[in-house]
Amino acid sequence: MEQKPSEIGSSVTTQNPHLLEVRGLTRYFTVGSLLRPRHVHAVEDVSFAVRRGQVVALVGESGSGKSTTIRLVARLIEATRGEILFEGVDVIQDEPRQASREYRRKVQMIFQDPFASLNAVHTIEHHIERPLIIHKKAEIRAERLDQIHILLGTVGLNPPEEIARRYPHQLSGGQRQRVAIARALAVDPELILADEPISMLDVSIRMGVLNLIAQLKEERGLAFLYVTHDLASARYIGDEIIVMYAGRMVEGGTSEEVMQEAAHPYTRLLISAVPDPHAGLRTRKETGLRGEVPSLIDPPPGCPFVARCPNVTAKCHEAMPGVSQISPTHWARCYLY
Amino acid sequence: MRDLSVEYLTARGPVQAVNGVSFQVRQGEVFGLAGESGSGKSTIAHAILRILHPPALITGGAVRFGDRDVLAMSEGELEEFRWKSISIVFQSAMNALNPVMHIRDQISDVLLTHGFPRSEVQERARALFDLVGIDPRRLDSYPHQLSGGMRQRAVIAIALSLSPPLMIMDEPTTALDVVVQKDILQQIANLKEKLGFSILFITHDLSLLVEFSNYLAIMYAGHILEKAPAHELFERPLNPYTVGLMNSFPSISGEKRRLTGIAGAPPDLVAPPKGCPFHPRCPRAMAICSEVMPAIQQVSPGHEVACHLY
Amino acid sequence: MANVNPVPADAENPQALTPAIGEGAAPKKTAGRQARSANRETFRRLVGQPKAMIGLTILVIYILVAIFAPLIAPGDPSRLEARQNQPPSAEHILGTTGQGQDVFRQLAWGARMSLAVGFMVGFLSTLIGLIVGMTAGYLPGLIDGVLNLFTNVFLIIPGLPLLITLASFLPPGPLTVILVLTFTGWAWPARVFRSQTLTLREKDFVSAAVVSGESRPYIIFSEILPNMLSLVVSSFFGAVTYAIGADAGLAFLGFENVNTVSWGTMLFWASNNSALLQGAWWTILPPGLSIALVAFATTMLIYAMDEVTNPRLRSEKEILRVLRRFHVVSKRSTPVVRKAAE
DSSP for A212-277, please give it.
HHHHHHHHH--EEEEEES-HHHHHHH-SEEEEEETTEEEEEEEHHHHHHS--SHHHHHHHHHS--G
CB contact under 8 A, A111 and C204: yes
Select from B179, B183, B265 the Cβ nearest to the Cβ of A61: B179
ipTM: 0.86
Share of chain C above pLDDT 90, in %: 32
- Indicate whether B196 belongs to any domain: yes
Cα–Cα distance, C268 to C255 (Å, whole number): 10
Q: Which of A125, A199, A225 to mutate to test the interface with C (most CBs of C within 10 A)?
A: A199
DSSP state of C274: T
Query: Could you read off the pLDDT of B206-228 as tens digits, one per residue?
Result: 888 988 899 999 999 989 999 99
Report the pLDDT value the prediction gives residue A284, as an integer from 0 to 100: 47
Q: pLDDT tier at C35 (50, 70, 90 boundaries)?
A: low
Class in CATH terms, C76-82+92-319: mainly alpha
Within 288-317 of A, beta carbons closer than 8 Å to B belong to 289-290, 292-293
Nearest to B265 among A172, A275, A293 (CB): A172
Res C24 pLDDT > 70: no
pLDDT of residue B62: 83
The kind and range of the H/E element at C69 are: helix C69-72
Beta bridge pairs of residue A252: A242, A331
**Which pLDDT belongs to residue A8?**
47
Neighbouring CB atoms inside 10 A of B3's CB total 14
**Mean per-residue pLDDT for B247-273?**
83
**Residue pLDDT, tens place only, C103-112:** 888 888 889 9
pLDDT, tens digit, for every residue of A182-237?
999 999 999 999 999 999 998 889 999 999 999 999 999 999 999 999 999 999 99
How many Å lie between the alpha carbon of A122 and the closest alpha carbon of chain C?
Answer: 7
CATH code 3.40.190.150 for A53-77+97-295: no
Instruction: Give the side-chain half-sphere CA count within 13 A for C136.
Output: 24
Q: Which of C12, C204, C221, C224 is most worth mutating to test chain A (most A CB atoms within 10 A of its CB)? A: C204
Q: Do C8 and A169 touch (CB under 8 A)?
A: no
Report yes or no on B123 lying in a domain: no
Tell me if A324 sits within 8 A of A337, measured CB to CB. Answer: yes
Q: Grade residue A80 by pLDDT with cuts at 50, 70 and 90.
A: very high
> For chain A, which residues make up each domain, given as ranges?
53-77+97-295
Q: What is the pLDDT averaged over residues A45-74?
A: 93
Distance CA A69, CA C315 (A): 40
> Which helix (H) or strand (E) covers residue A18, if one does?
strand A18-32
The model's pLDDT over A111-128, given as tens digits with 9 standing for 90+, comes to: 999 989 999 889 999 999
Q: Choose among C3, C23, C211: nearest Cβ to A74.
A: C211
A112 lies within 8 A of chain C by CB: yes
Question: Could you give the number of structural domains in chain B?
Answer: 1
Q: Render pLDDT for C237-269 as a digit per residue (tens, 0 to 9).
A: 999 999 999 999 888 888 888 888 889 888 998
CA distance C186 to C175: 16
Cβ-count burial of C229 within 10 angstroms (0-12 exposed, 13-18 middle, 19+ buried)?
Answer: middle
Instruction: Please tell me which residue, B5 or A134, carries the higher pLDDT value.
Output: A134
Query: Between the ranges A148-152, B37-41, B78-82, C41-45, where is the mean pLDDT highest?
Result: A148-152
Q: Which of A105, A130, A166 sits opposite C214 (nearest CB)?
A: A130
Per-residue pLDDT reduced to its tens digit, B193-210: 888 899 999 999 888 898
Distance, in Å, from the CA atom of B6 to the CA atom of B60, rounded to the nearest integer, reads 7
Residue B131 resides in a domain: no
- The mean pLDDT value for B122-150 works out to 84
Q: Is position B100 within any domain?
A: no
Query: Is residue B81, in this structure, part of any structural domain at all?
Result: yes
Give contacts of B36 with chain A, Cβ < 8 Å. Answer: 202-204
Answer with the residue of higher pLDDT: C240 or B114.
C240
Provide the pLDDT for residue C27: 38
Residue C216 CA to residue C129 CA, distance in Å, equals 19
Residue C16 has pLDDT above 80, yes or no: no
Give pLDDT tens digits for A258-304: 999 999 999 999 998 888 765 544 444 445 456 778 888 999 999 99
Say whether pLDDT at C36 is over 60: yes
CB atoms C26 and B91 under 8 Å: no
Domain boundaries of chain C, sorted by first residue: 76-82+92-319
Query: Over 50: is that where the pLDDT of C11 sits?
Result: no
Domain that holds residue B271: 2-85+164-306
Query: Does residue B66 sit within a domain?
Result: yes
CB-based contact B174 C5, cutoff 8 Å: yes
Contact state of B280 with C26 under an 8 Å Cβ cutoff = yes
Provide the b/e sequence for B258-279 (b: ≥16 CB within 10 Å). Answer: ebebbbbbbbbbeebbebbbbb
CB contact under 8 A, B178 and A276: no
- CATH code of the domain containing B242: 3.40.50.300
Residue B140 lies in a domain: no
Q: How does the average pLDDT of chain C come out, rounded?
A: 80
Chain C CB within 8 Å of residue A135 CB: yes
In sequence order, what are the residues at sequence separation of 6 or more whose Cβ sits closer than 8 angstroms to the Cβ of residue C229?
C39, C42
Per-residue pLDDT at C4 exceeds 80: no
- Partners of chain B (3+ Cβ pairs below 8 A): A, C
Query: What pLDDT is recorded for position C188?
Result: 93
